[in-house]
Chains A and B, each alone.
Chain A
Amino acid sequence: MTDTQVRPRPPGATDRPPVADTKGALRKRRRKEYLTAYLFLLPWFVGLIAITAGPLLTSLYLSFTDYSLIGDSQWVGFDNYTRMFQDDPRFIKALTNTAIYVFVSVPLQLAFALALAMVLDRGVSGLPIYRSVYYLPSLLGSSVAIAILWRQIFGADGLVNEFLGIFGIEGMGWVSHPDTALGTLIILNVWTFGSPMVIFLAGLRQIPTSYYEAASLDGASKARQFFSITLPLLSPIIFFNLILQLINAFQSFTQAFVISGGNGSPADSTLLYTMHVYQKGFNSFEMGYASAMAWVLVLIIAALTGVNFLMSKYWVFYSDK
C-alpha cells in the first residue's frame, strides 16, 4: 500500500536537502527526535508520576503514619508494621487464608492447564472450539455475576448439594461453613485455568515434532518423552505462567468479597489479604495501616518472584542460550 510512496526517486528530484550533513545539523535533528519522543510519552509520563509513582511513594510514607483522611497524618514509625504481626489476629488469619488459597489453587490450576493443553496439542480436531470453551471461564471468573452464581452453587440449596443428593449424600452450606468456604474460592480460581492453558498451547507449538519422532524411534515411552522433552522445553513457559498466576492469585478480591458478603465470613474463613486491606482502608479509614499492609503485599510478591527467578536457574531450560 505504501509502494507508490516509497519508491526511491532519482537523485536531484528530491525537494529535501541531503541527509548527510554537518555535526551541528545532526545534533539539531537528534534533539528534535528527543523532543518528539518526549511528546509521544507525555501522557504516560504524567500517568506514571501522578497515578503510579506518586501514589506509590505516598503510600510508603503513609505506611509510617496514622491517617484517617480527616486531619493531618501522625508519624508513628514502624508501629503499623509491628501491629500487623502482634496485635491484629485478623491480619494473621488473612495472610494464612491467602497463603492456602494461592499455594493450593495455583499448582492445581497449572496442572489442569498443562494436562489439557497436552491433550489438545495432540492433533485433536476442533481445537479452536475446545480452546474457546475451556478459556471462557477465565474471562468470566472475575465478574460479580459468577461470584453470585458460585454463592448459589455451593449454598445449602445449591446445585452441588442437589447433585450429591442423587447419591443419597446430604450436603451442607459449603459457602457458609468455615471449613469449606475457602475451598469454594479455590475451586473458582482453578476453574479459570483456561488462560494459562492457552499460553501452554502456544509453548507446545514451539517444540518441534521431530524431537518426539526421534525419541519414538529410539523407543522412548510417552512418559519418558514427557519428562525428557516436553517438561524441559516447556519450562520457560511453566515459569512464566507460575509467576503470572501467583501474582494474580495474591490479588484476588472480587470473588471473596461477593461470596462472603464483604466481610470474610463465615468466621473470617474467606478473609483474603486484599479484603483486609480494603476493610481497613475504606471501611474504617485507617489509611496508614492499610498502606502498610499493601506494602507488605508488595514485598511478599516481590520476594516470591525473586525466589522463583533464583530457583529458575535450576529447572528452567532456555534452548537458545
Chain B
Amino acid sequence: MTNNVKPRPDARAGAARDGNGHPELNDTLFARVLKALAGKRILTHILLIAFGFVMLYPVLWMISSSLKPEELIFREPGLWPSSFTFDNFSNGWDALRYPFSHYFLNSAIITGFSIVGNLVACSLAAYAFARLEFPFKKIFFALMLGSIMLPLHVVIVPQYILFSDLGWINTFYPLIVPKFLATDAFFIFLMVQFIRTLPRELDEAAVIDGAGHWRIFTRIILPLSTPALATTAIFTFIWTWNDFLSQLIFLTNPDKFTVPVALRTFLDSSGESSWGPMFAISVLSLGPIFGFFLAGQKYLVRGIATTGLK
C-alpha cells in the first residue's frame, strides 16, 4: 500500500517512455488524437472513444439540455439543440428565496477556508511525523491512520451535540474549524509520505547553518512539497464543494445554504416540473469541479494513484 507512493518523475516529460516502455506523446491534444487514430490499433480506439462517449453522454446531455428551451428537452434526445436559450439559467438563478449567487458565495467561503485549514494544519502535523522525534510517535501515527478509516456517521451525532452546545448550528464554524484541526487525516498521511522522500541532508545542512525547525519547515520542506500541497488543495476543494451530509446537518437556515443543499431544496420544491432550470444550475454547480479538474489533472492522478483519494 505504501510501496508505490514515491513520486515518480513525470512520465510525460519529453517524448519519454513510461515504466513499461510504452511511448507517451507530449503533443497537443489534436495531434495526439490524430496520431492515435493513425496508429494500428484503430479498433481499440474506436471502442475506447465509444465507451467514453457513452460514459459522458449523461453529463453532455445535461449541459445541452440546460441550453434548450424547456419544451424541447424531452422532444430532442440529441445533443445539439435546434434552438439555444439562456432562459433556464436566469430562471434557475432566481428560483429559490435567494439568488444562486448567494449559495455559491456560501460554498466558496466554506471551501476556501477548508483549503487553508487543511494546508496549514495537515502540513504542520505531517512535518512532525516525518521529521521529528517524540515520545509515543508510533502510537500517535497509528491513531492518525486509524482515524482515516472511521466513518463520518459514527461521530456526526456527538459532533452535532457538541456544535449545538457551542451555538454553532447554522453557522459555517462546524464545517470550517475541524479543517484547522487537521481532521482530514488523509492529507497528513499524504504529506508524511511525500516529506519522507525529500533528502534529509537538506535539513541537516540547515541545522548546521543554525536554522530551527520552524525555519526548516517553512523555508525548505514547504516549498519542496508543492505537489503534495497542490493535491491537498484540489481534493479539499472537490470534497468540500461536493459535500452534502454535513452541510445538510449543520446548516438549517436557507440564508446559510450551500450549493448542494440549495440544489436539493430546488428539487424538492419544484418536483420534476422544472428540469431545465434545475439542469442549468446543476451544470453551473459542476463548473468549478471541472475547472479544478482541468487545472490539477497531473496532481489529481498522482494523488489518487498513491493514496486512493477519490
| CB of A48 within 8 Å of the partner chain | yes
User: What's the minimum C-beta distance from A205 to chain B, rounded to whole angstroms?
Assistant: 4
Residues of B within 8 A of A221 (CB): none
- Interface SS of chain B: helix
| CB of A317 within 8 Å of the partner chain | no
Q: Is the CB of A126 within 8 A of B267?
A: no
In angstroms, Cα B100 to Cα A128, docked, is 35
Q: Is the CB of B36 within 8 A of A2?
A: no
Q: Is the CB of A254 within 8 A of B244?
A: yes
Q: Is the CB of B279 within 8 A of A149?
A: yes
Contact A149 B32, CB 8 Å, known A38-B134, A40-B124: no
Q: Is the CB of B22 within 8 A of A123?
A: yes
Q: Is the CB of A144 within 8 A of B263?
A: yes
Interface flags, A45-79, vs B, CB<8A=1, else 0: 01110111111101100100000010000000000
In angstroms, Cα B22 to Cα A207, docked, is 13
Q: Chain A residue with minimal CB distance to B181?
A: A47
Residues of B within 8 A of A208 (CB): 20
Q: Is the CB of A123 within 8 A of B52?
A: no
**Which residues in chain B, 142-190, are within 8 Å of chain A measured between CB atoms?**
143-144, 147, 149-162, 164, 178, 180-183, 188
Contact A135 B301, CB 8 Å, known A130-B48, A290-B157: yes
Contact A157 B74, CB 8 Å, known A145-B282, A149-B58, A261-B268: yes
Interface flags, A147-159, vs B, CB<8A=1, else 0: 0111111010101
Chain A interface: which of B83-91, B108-116, B125-133, B225-233? Answer: B125-133
User: What's the minimum C-beta distance from A25 to chain B, rounded to whole angstroms?
Assistant: 15
- Interface SS of chain A: helix
* The residue from A34, A191, A192, A257 contacting B135, defined by CB atoms under 8 A apart: A34
Q: Chain A residue with minimal CB distance to B121?
A: A43
* The residue from A40, A131, A287 contacting B125, defined by CB atoms under 8 A apart: A40
Give the interface size class of chain B.
Answer: 35 or more
Residues of B within 8 A of A69 (CB): 161, 164
Q: Is the CB of A301 within 8 A of B149?
A: yes
| CB of A198 within 8 Å of the partner chain | yes
Residues of A within 8 A of B272 (CB): 151-152, 155
* The residue from A33, A135, A142 contacting B134, defined by CB atoms under 8 A apart: A33
Q: Is the CB of B20 within 8 A of A253?
A: no
Total A-B contacts with CB atoms under 8 angstroms apart: 318
Contact A52 B21, CB 8 Å, known A125-B32, A131-B301: no
User: What's the minimum C-beta distance from B304 to chain A, rounded to whole angstroms?
Assistant: 5
Residues of A within 8 A of B122 (CB): 44
| CB of A222 within 8 Å of the partner chain | no
Interface flags, B1-37, vs A, CB<8A=1, else 0: 1011000000010000011111111000100110110
**Which residues in chain A, 92-150, are within 8 Å of chain B measured between CB atoms?**
116, 119-140, 142-146, 148-150
In angstroms, Cα B127 to Cα A152, docked, is 47
Residues of B within 8 A of A191 (CB): 55
Q: Chain A residue with minimal CB distance to B285?
A: A145
**Which residues in chain A, 149-173, are within 8 Å of chain B measured between CB atoms?**
149-153, 155, 157, 159, 162-163
Interface flags, A178-205, vs B, CB<8A=1, else 0: 0000000000000110010011011111
Q: Chain A residue with minimal CB distance to B35?
A: A125
* The residue from B77, B150, B188, B267 contacting A148, defined by CB atoms under 8 A apart: B267
In angstroms, Cα B212 to Cα A126, docked, is 47
Residues of B within 8 A of A155 (CB): 272
Q: Chain B residue with minimal CB distance to A7?
A: B205
Q: Chain A residue with minimal CB distance to B154?
A: A294
**Which residues in chain B, 243-264, are within 8 Å of chain A measured between CB atoms?**
244-245, 249, 259-261, 263-264
| CB of A215 within 8 Å of the partner chain | no
In angstroms, Cα B74 to Cα A278, docked, is 35
In angstroms, Cα B282 to Cα A254, docked, is 15
| CB of B67 within 8 Å of the partner chain | no
Q: Is the CB of B128 within 8 A of A40?
A: yes
Shortest 8 CB-CB distances between A and B: which pairs? Answer: A47-B181, A6-B205, A145-B282, A55-B158, A202-B305, A37-B134, A58-B158, A123-B22
Q: List 5 A-B contacts (CB under 8 A).
A: A8-B208, A62-B158, A121-B20, A139-B238, A206-B4
